[in-house]
Amino acid sequence: MVLTGTAPEVELAPVADTATNYALFMFGSSNTRYQLVNSFEGRLLPSFPGGAAVQTGVSVGVRTFNNYLGAASWMCAEAGP
């Protein structure tokens, strides 16, 4: 295999803009969502009837939804207005 010519031009993502958006996302969305989930699990989840199996199922559901919501909000933040 022989390579000839020059490498194709590749446009890299703007580092400063991406870093700024990610910092704002972590500050405004990720930390807030984490605090809400943590508070829910610490204060409300123990009062759910049904024992440990139900509480674990609810916790898994809440955390899964939190991950989905975080991914969706990050994609919206990167897409811009």
DSSP states of 41-73 = IIIIGGG-TTHHHHHHHHHHHHHHHHHHHHHHH
Q: Which range marks the domain in which residue 19 is found? A: 15-79
Tally the domains of the chain: 1
Tell me whether residue 1 is in a domain: no
Q: Are 45 and 55 in contact, with CB atoms under 8 Å apart?
A: yes
- State pLDDT tens for residues 5-51: 777 788 888 899 888 888 888 887 888 889 999 999 999 999 989 89
Q: Tell which residue, 31, 65, 58, 30, has the closest CA to residue 44.
A: 58
Tell me whether residue 56 is in a domain: yes
CA distances from 11 to 8, 15, 74 (A): 10, 12, 22
Q: Is the pLDDT of residue 77 over 70?
A: no
Tell me whether residue 32 is in a domain: yes
Tell me whether residue 52 is in a domain: yes
Tell me whether residue 73 is in a domain: yes
- State pLDDT tens for residues 48-68: 898 999 999 999 999 999 999
